[in-house]
Every structure is written in C-alpha cells, then in structure tokens.
Amino acid sequence: MDNVTTSIRSDTSSDAGGSRRPGRIAVYLELAKARLAALVVLTAVVGFLLGARGWSDPAGLLWTALGTALSAFGANILNQLVEQDRDRLMLRTRGRPLPSGRVTGGQAAGWGVASAVAGVAILAAAANPLSAGLSLLTVVLYVAVYTPLKPRTPLSTVVGAIVGAVPPMIGWAAAAGRLELGAWVLAGILFVWQIPHFLALAFMYRDDYARAGFRMLPAVDRPGNLTGRLALLYILSLLPVTAAQVLAGVSGPGYLIASQLLGLGFAGIGWRFLRLRTEPAARRLFLASILYLPLLLAAMVADMNRPASSLGRTAAAPRPAAVALAIDGPAAGGR
C-alpha cells in the first residue's frame, strides 16, 4: 500500500525494473471495467435506436451512450470498492487495482461517486428524467442490493440480471420519452440471456468464487446438474422471448428467422454443457453467449420497423431547451 501514489502516476512512470506503469486513465478504466461497460452501452444504444426507430438523432445517441457509460463505470467502481477484500482471495481478481494496492479506497470512492453522478446528470440534462431515473436505479440495485447478496444467496444472479436488463430501457426512454412494449421485451431478452451467460462464467471460476465466499450457484452445486439444467432452460426461453419483438412490432420477419436460428445454435451448446459439465464446455457456452447477443441485437436493428409516416423518429420527449440549443444551434428550429 505504500506504493499507491506512485503506481497511479502518468504513463511515463516506471518501476525499479524499468517497465512502464499504467497511468491514471488506464487504472480508472480498469477499475471501471470498461470492456464490460461497453456491452452495457451497446444495449443502451440498441434501445435508443429502436425507441427512435432509426438513426435520426446522432447527438442524442452520443449523449445517451456517454451518460450510460459513466453510470456503468460508477457502479462497477463502487462494486469493486465493496468487494475488494473478497477480490484479494480470488486468483481471477486479486490483480485488480484495489486488491493490488494501485488505488486507495478513498480514490475509488471518489471516482465511483463522481462517475455515477455525472452519468445520471448527463442523462437528465441531455435526455429526460425517466432515463436518468432508470440509470440511478441500476447503480443503486447493483451496489446496494446485488453486491451484498452475492455472499448470501445464489439468487443474487437474478438480481444481477435485473440490473443488466435496465440499460436498453435507458436508451429507449432517452429516445422516446416513455417505455413502450418493445422496451420491456428488450429488457426481458437481456434478463433471460444473462442467466446462462453468468452461470457459464461462474462454473468456470466456481473454485475461486467458493474461496472468496460468494454463494454463486456453481460454487454450491459442485456437480453442476442444476447449473446445466437452468442454463439450458433459460437458453430455450430465449426462443419465444426474442420472437416477442416481432409481436411488439419492433422488428420484422428477417429478425425473427435470425433470432430463432441463433437461439437454436445457442441451445445446442447449452445442451452440450448440460451433458458434459466440464470447464471447457462452460467456456464454450460463455463464448457462445458473448457472440449470440451482439448478433441478435444487430439483426434486431437491421430489420427494425420504421414508422409508416416517415423514416425519422417517433414522437419523443424533447431535449431540454439548453441542451437542444447547445447541440442544434439557434437556427436549428428545434427537433
């Protein structure tokens, strides 16, 4: 801990051996789990595009992506702040900035709160109170509910899946000013997808989770029978849930075909995991889940139904006047 200050200096700093140490930005992004947050931002972007029924508001899309990213950064940092002692016990996480001593608890708390507040504020100013409120809800659920539940019950995974289902609703609310049926279906897809995604990850690292005292299902279900069955059940549930976007009028028949083919392929890998219940099978399932989601979302956006009256946005809540003026300029004449 004596080297905390020097370990987060600029990228030009070096250790005794002459190797370069990461600077503040690199450490911040690592602490914020930027790669994980990128997936959160992706779902919010898709929610925005579907809520707007197109690409007609690039400025609004960028503000929404930025606000969502900062909110996700803040939640991830505060999560690691709470879990730093348990992270020290896990081989997978002991090199993170807090357990390794590259960041102090005070620094992490400051970064986390500032990021979360900035993200919510951006959404409130550039979009609307509904999207900002949903963003605040995700931070609170993640840090104050999901995180404390992880050492207590395997049902924490369900709470975590709820948290991960909200970002596309943030994007939809930012674009449309309300939550339509398609927003709820999109959230349902994210909720169902996260269960097999996380079960596969937790199975791969079940010894690590057990060592740190996290009661993830694979850590207590050592043979993996229940884990495998639940993973496959949720994957099969994706077939009707993804099809519901067509019934909601969001996407068309091309998406329907793609979603079912992707779901059947995903289910085949889930079935193999259920039969084998080995770490390689869990890794294949985890990688398949990562591939499945962006392909599904891409098909959803590529085949989205646009309004019959125009190719532009549906009626949406206007941006606050100050933000609209800053983005569009005084001669833009509004939206």
Summarize pLDDT for 200-211 with one digit per residue, the tens: 999 999 999 999
For the cut 50, the answer to whether the pLDDT of residue 129 exceeds it is yes
Cα–Cα separations (whole angstroms), residue 15 to 3, 10, 26, 99, 101: 10, 12, 16, 19, 14
pLDDT band at residue 155 using 50, 70 and 90 as cut-offs? very high
| Residues 6+ positions from 192 with CB-CB distance below 8 Å | 161, 234, 237, 238, 241
Please tell me the predicted confidence (pLDDT) of residue 335. 34
pLDDT of the residue at 18: 39
Classified as helix, coil or strand, 2 is coil
**pLDDT of res. 247:** 96
Q: Which residues of 205-232 are buried (b: 16+ CB within 10 A; e: fewer)?
A: bbebbbebebbbbbbebeebeebbebbb
User: Distance (Å, rounded) from C-alpha 5 to C-alpha 228?
Assistant: 45
Q: Quickly state the pLDDT bin for 306 (edges 50, 70, 90).
A: confident
Q: Percent of the chain scored above 70 by pLDDT?
A: 85
The tens digit of pLDDT for each residue in 226-274 reads: 999 999 999 999 999 999 999 999 999 999 999 999 999 999 999 999 9
Distance CA 81, CA 78 (A): 5
Alpha helices per DSSP H over 128-252: 129-140, 147-149, 156-165, 167-176, 181-204, 206-212, 217-220, 225-247
pLDDT at 328 over 60: no
Per-residue pLDDT reduced to its tens digit, 5-57: 333 333 333 343 334 556 889 999 999 999 999 999 999 999 999 999 999 89
